[in-house]
Amino acid sequence: MTEEAEVLFERRGALGLITLNRPKALNALTQGMCVAMKAQLDEWAKDDAFKSVAIRGNGDRAFCAGGDIRALYESGKAKTPYALQFYRDEYILNATIKRYPKPYIALIHGIDMGGGVGVSVNGSHRIAGESMVFAMPETGIGLFPDVGGSYFLPRCPGQLGMFLGLTGARLKTTDSLYAGIATDFVPMAHWEMLLTALADGTAPDTAIAGLKDSVPGTFLAEHRDAIDRTFGQGSVEDILAALDAEHTDWAQDTANTIRAKSPTSLKIAFRQIREGKSLSFDECMKMEYRMVNRIVAGHDFYEGVRAVIIDKDNAPKWQPAALSGVSDADVGAYFAPLGEKELKL
């Protein structure tokens, strides 16, 4: 492929190497990238010469900042099929990675958010570099933590997944490891050595063991008791009440953060994270596809993207504007079956 391609594929001995190649766009995913990666992964899965697959992002700033939100916004506003086609192909790619028959190693530096999480956390090995910054900030743009968030968030320790899903909190390397988002810390100076070992056919666990390092204590560890106490409640409203009752700066800041998000997104995210704990990965992806179909047909996603990305006034006008305006029936509609339009994995 040419250097201008959005995603590059390379064979290095026993290793298949994927490089996300949109550094100016922080390696944000397009539908074409998702389709191309799925096709290449399927080829490598059938070829015994490839022992493992690794994925990285080009440029200094990001592994992958997510999906190309502006393109999705414009498609939805114009009512073209691109937005739902993107989500369908992205979720199919996420499921392919989750069930991949060979080790799948993500080398994560800089920003790893939204769609970038989908092509990293769903793999078998998630290697954090010093600059890693993870977040699932979707409730702030009228969306929900998708790309498998229904599956991996409720499987984080305690109530960390609910905390991350509702607040969009950013985690650096140490906290990403604590939460289980990353599996190992390997200093970025050693990444080429890791790739060389993988290319030589060394098993990933063996290659990583010789290069990984330890990290100091974490913010999440310090606040873990409070997070478990407040985010283990039975509703978003109860979580906010529990935070208000804490009377600490952290709790007040956290409550204020949540109150700025889309009320609809908060309530559907709460339900997806609770329900996802007992669902298989494929069931989670099918649930998320039902949800995103309703998001694309709604209001808050477009208003959130307008406020955060288009106009950058950070003053979204959510509809409804308060949690009290989002009924159980409203929430349930996001999870209703799609009939013949269901996601097929």
Distance CA 233, CA 230 (A): 6
Q: Measure Cα distances from 196 to 19, 40, 70, 201, 213 in Å.
A: 15, 21, 37, 9, 18
Q: Mean pLDDT of all residues in the chain?
A: 96
Instruction: For residue 170, give the nearest of 246, 116, 112, 121 by alpha carbon.
Output: 112
Long-range contacts, stretch 209-213, CB < 8 angstroms, 24+ apart: 211/186, 211/187, 212/184, 212/185, 212/186, 213/185, 213/186, 213/187
Question: Residue 152: its pLDDT value, please?
Answer: 98
Amino acid at 200: D
110 forms bridges with which residues in the sheet?
62
Q: How confident is the model at residue 1 (pLDDT cuts 50, 70, 90)?
A: very low
- Say whether pLDDT at 307 is over 50: yes
Q: Convert the pLDDT of each residue in 158-207 to its tens digit.
A: 999 999 999 999 999 999 999 999 999 999 999 999 999 999 999 999 99
- Say whether pLDDT at 124 is over 90: yes
Q: What is the mean pLDDT of residues 40-45?
A: 98
Q: How confident is the model at residue 217 (pLDDT cuts 50, 70, 90)?
A: confident
Distance CA 314, CA 18 (A): 35
Burial label, 212 (beta-carbon count in 10 A; 0-12, 13-18, 19+): middle
Question: Residue 28: its pLDDT value, please?
Answer: 96
User: The domain 1-345 is classified under which CATH number: 3.50.50.60, 3.90.226.10, 3.20.20.140, 2.30.110.10?
Assistant: 3.90.226.10
The domain segmentation of the chain, as residue ranges, is 1-345
Distance CA 120, CA 142 (A): 23
Q: How confident is the model at residue 284 (pLDDT cuts 50, 70, 90)?
A: very high
133 forms bridges with which residues in the sheet?
111
Residue 312's SS3 state is coil
For residue 79, the tally of other CB atoms under 10 A from its CB is 9
Q: What is the mean pLDDT of residues 116-128?
A: 98
Residues labelled as active-site residues: 67, 115, 138, 146
Q: What is the mean pLDDT of residues 99-107?
A: 98
Q: How confident is the model at residue 2 (pLDDT cuts 50, 70, 90)?
A: very low
Dihedral (C-alpha) 67, 71, 76, 80: value to the nearest 10 degrees?
-120
Q: How confident is the model at residue 218 (pLDDT cuts 50, 70, 90)?
A: confident
Q: How confident is the model at residue 3 (pLDDT cuts 50, 70, 90)?
A: low
Question: Residue 216: its pLDDT value, please?
Answer: 77
Q: How confident is the model at residue 76 (pLDDT cuts 50, 70, 90)?
A: very high
Q: What is the mean pLDDT of residues 115-140?
A: 97
Q: Residue for token digits 């694309």?
A: 296
- Say whether pLDDT at 63 is over 50: yes
pTM of the model: 0.96
Strand locations in the chain, DSSP E?
Answer: 7-12, 15-20, 52-57, 62-64, 104-108, 111-113, 125-128, 133-135, 184-185
